[in-house]
Chains A and B, each alone.
Chain A
Amino acid sequence: MPFNVLVLTCLAYVAFLFLVAFVVERRASRGEMRFLRSPFVYTLSLSIYCTAWTFYGAVGSAARTGLEFLTIYLGPTLVFVGWWWVLRKLLRIGRRQRVTSIADLISSRYGKSNLLGVLVTVIAVVAATPYIALQLQSVTLSFSVFAQSSPETWAMPDRDATAIWVAAGLALFTILFGTRNLDAKEQHHGIVMAIAVEAVVKLVALLAVGIFVVWGLGGGPVAMISRIENYTDPNWAIQPGRWGGLIFLSAAAVITLPRMFQVLVVENVEEGHLARASWAFPTYLFLISLFILPIAMIGLERMPAGANPDMMVLTLPLHEGQGGLALLAFLGGFSSATSMVIVETIALATMVSNHILMPAWLWLRPQAAVSGDLRGVILLARRFSIIGVLALGLEYFRLSGGSAALAAIGQIAFAGMAQVLPALLGGIFWRGGTKLGASLGLSIGFATWGFTLFLPSFGAGGVISAEVLQHGLFDLPWLRPQALFGTEGMDPLIHSIFWSLALNIAGYAVGSLLSFPDPVERIQGAAFVNAFDDELQAERLGWTHGKAEPEALMNMAQRILGDEAAISFFEAEARAQGKAGFLPDLTPRFLAELERNLAGSVGAATAHAMISQLFGRATVTVEDLMAVATEAAQIMEYSARL
């Protein structure tokens, strides 16, 4: 197939995605959101978990190590099947606290500490860098596959130039649809719809190649299974350490990856969608993994030795003369890579601008916080962050030479992001976790990951010298990056996960046990851990996060109690608090008093519901509403008798 046809198809596809995002944004801004509010769009948007690593790398991984690639999808399956444990709580907290990113969540839990926000942001950016590089690498590789197979047209495009073009296009799309306006909830409907479309494209593409391979080349499923059964390769034996370790790692990643958090929590429009996604998302993963092994198997049999197994999804149909199928596969791979980069950069840009750039800006120009419109500055900060994040990925791609196996790069990123897990799980299940513990755990874990996995990934003599790799830091043999404390027998990846998380958890636990949290931390800790406890939630909302202004309460009280009574009640309370005027502080005691006072006129349940409503819908339960209905009926009955 001519190379320029490929480029044209690619451009047409991108234009189509622009159109989808644009139309959806338009409709969302007019309030027509019905089709966006479907649980299927939510499930499909979750599938950005499957990136180019899945689309291309999984086949490569299957060809090299057999069934091991499955672990990357089994971990998330277990997390979603067990949604009642973690995801449900995470979603509830995220929505209640109006969390905008994983860094925001950690910072908010530990007393709104910006230090922690910065720490998580740095970890996320560093861990995402190789991951974004992976996507660029796969797109460049797939372009070059087509360039090689079509001698009649252009020479093979320059590798770096392709990567730069792709990165620039992605930056443009992300800036256009990710930073059009500032949404308090950080939701991007256009982008969610575009990635849902891309999710369908990549699934259809992979299934099409798989069906062609199994029924067209492999002679049906039964023959396929026996072929796989008879294939002997010592590398295909399951290694227990890696099997268990990778299932754990991918389970951790699906919760902590910035882009997963973005679609799972931030872009969620309705909590109930999670119940559907709990089985629908594992089904998506199941389908996408189903044909990976057969494709790898047939690829190994038919392709010449030395062909890059990471590109078999593309090269196998080309080799068999199926140009159309190869084009579909190319679009699928392109979709996987682009959707990941778009959402990842949005998530990271939100973190970088909220936790690093904006605080720095306000520190430099303190008067900006009081006067002037900050929206322009924030949007600008977002745009620079998007470009910065993409530039980092591009640089990693150029430095690493774009030669490593895709799966290996992805695992480095997973292990880096997994460092957030102890602080996250500790934060939502253990009230004793403190800011000091979280900072300690995160920094120790991050440093250990960097030393044992990330820096060595640049190769011996890259950042860490061969000398240090061999003999350890400062010539101390127990500080060898891949054999800390003498643990030589471990696989380097498992070694790094093991030590970084062990030291991370130790730091978190010791720091938390020995320090004492400040009041905000304690309130937030209770709110997170008891997220499903409505009573405590009401109490907390009453005096920390209340959106209600004294004036609003005053208005409501006037309407119910009458002007005279309301004003004198408020005035008396203000005097008791030692304040002039008639607007007291909203202490829990005052609110309880007011509620009782209102209850005298409209009934306890209504009074509670009204006050709750002023403090956000959080505190109104179904029971409350039922009681309101009963009371209203009683009042009607009463007035009818009059």
Chain B
Amino acid sequence: MRGPRAPLFLARAVYRQRRLRDAARLLPLVGFFLLMLPLMWSDAAGAGHTAVYVFGVWALLIGLTAYVAPGLAQPEASSPAEDA
């Protein structure tokens, strides 16, 4: 019932899309890691610097998500199997 398999030259695009999804899955973990870092800092670090750091991480996460999101919103380029 299914149509013919995607031609070979598409493989690269499909591969990229899969890796993009992997990146999307990794992002919250990266964010969590970066946001836990201030806990390891000594008390000498004041609230001002910590705040600048946290907002910086926040902006970075937003930027990366905005970069990745349009590619993810595309319909799936090939069969729905999630393996690479």
Contact = CB atoms under 8 A, between A and B. Distances in A.
Contact of A236 (B25, B27, B47): B47
A229 B80 CA distance: 51
Contacts of A74: 35, 54, 58
Nearest to A84: B24
B25 A85 contact: yes
**Listed residue (A77, A85, A272) with the most chain B CB atoms within 10 angstroms of its CB:** A77
Contacts of B43: 237
B71 to A, nearest CB: 9
A278 B50 contact: no
Contacts of B27: 81-82
Contacts of B82: 532
A interface: dominant SS? helix
Interface in B1-36: 1-3, 21, 24-25, 27-29, 31-32, 35-36
B39 A244 contact: yes
A229 B49 contact: yes
**Listed residue (A78, A79, A85) with the most chain B CB atoms within 10 angstroms of its CB:** A78
B84 interface: no
Contact of A226 (B1, B48, B62): B48
A286 B69 contact: no
Contacts of B24: 82-84
Interface residues of A, number: 49
A67 interface: yes
A228 B54 CA distance: 14
B47 A229 contact: yes
A109 to B, nearest CB: 21
Contacts of B65: 80-81, 278-279, 282
Nearest to A232: B46
Interface stretch (A42-50, A195-203, A622-630): A622-630
Interface in B60-75: 61-66, 69-70, 72-73, 75
B83 to A, nearest CB: 13
Given A84-B25, A238-B39, A228 B58 contact: no
A231 interface: yes
Interface in A564-613: 604-605, 608
B75 A622 contact: yes
Contacts of A605: 1, 3
A377 interface: no
Interface in A110-157: none
Nearest to B26: A82
A61 to B, nearest CB: 13
B51 A279 contact: no
A278 B69 contact: yes
B73 A275 contact: yes
A66 interface: yes
A302 to B, nearest CB: 18
A367 B59 CA distance: 59
A237 B72 CA distance: 39
Contacts of B63: 279
Interface in A277-305: 278-279, 282-283, 286, 290, 293
Interface in A604-642: 604-605, 608, 622-624, 626-627, 630
Nearest to B48: A229
A281 to B, nearest CB: 10
A230 interface: yes
A240 B58 CA distance: 19
Contacts of A80: 65
Contacts of A491: none
A32 interface: no
Given A78-B31, A623-B2, A533 B80 contact: yes
Nearest to A236: B47
**Listed residue (A229, A293, A604) with the most chain B CB atoms within 10 angstroms of its CB:** A229
Contacts of A238: 38-39, 50
A282 B58 contact: yes
A225 B50 CA distance: 10
B28 A81 contact: yes
B24 to A, nearest CB: 4
A494 interface: no
A200 to B, nearest CB: 19
A231 B80 contact: no
B59 A286 contact: yes
Contact of A77 (B36, B61, B70): B61
A230 B54 contact: no
B38 A228 contact: no
A534 interface: yes
B21 A84 contact: yes
Contacts of B49: 225, 229
A581 to B, nearest CB: 31
A313 to B, nearest CB: 18
Contacts of A229: 46-49
Given A77-B31, A275-B70, A293 B58 contact: no
B5 to A, nearest CB: 10
A290 B62 CA distance: 14
A142 B59 CA distance: 32
27 contacts: A74-B35, A77-B58, A78-B32, A81-B61, A82-B25, A83-B24, A84-B72, A85-B25, A85-B28, A226-B48, A229-B48, A238-B38, A243-B39, A247-B32, A272-B73, A275-B69, A276-B73, A279-B63, A532-B82, A533-B80, A608-B1, A622-B76, A623-B3, A624-B2, A624-B3, A627-B2, A630-B3
Interface of A: 66-67, 70, 74, 77-85, 225-231, 236-238, 240, 243-244, 247, 272, 275-276, 278-279, 282-283, 286, 290, 293, 532-534, 604-605, 608, 622-624, 626-627, 630
The 9 nearest A-B residue pairs measured at CB: A229-B48, A82-B28, A275-B73, A279-B66, A229-B46, A228-B48, A84-B24, A279-B65, A627-B3
Interface of B: 1-3, 21, 24-25, 27-29, 31-32, 35-36, 38-39, 43, 46-52, 54-55, 58-59, 61-66, 69-70, 72-73, 75-76, 80, 82
Given A67-B50, A534-B80, A627-B3, 15 more contacts: A70-B51, A77-B58, A229-B49, A231-B47, A243-B36, A243-B39, A275-B70, A278-B65, A279-B62, A282-B58, A286-B62, A623-B2, A624-B2, A627-B1, A627-B2
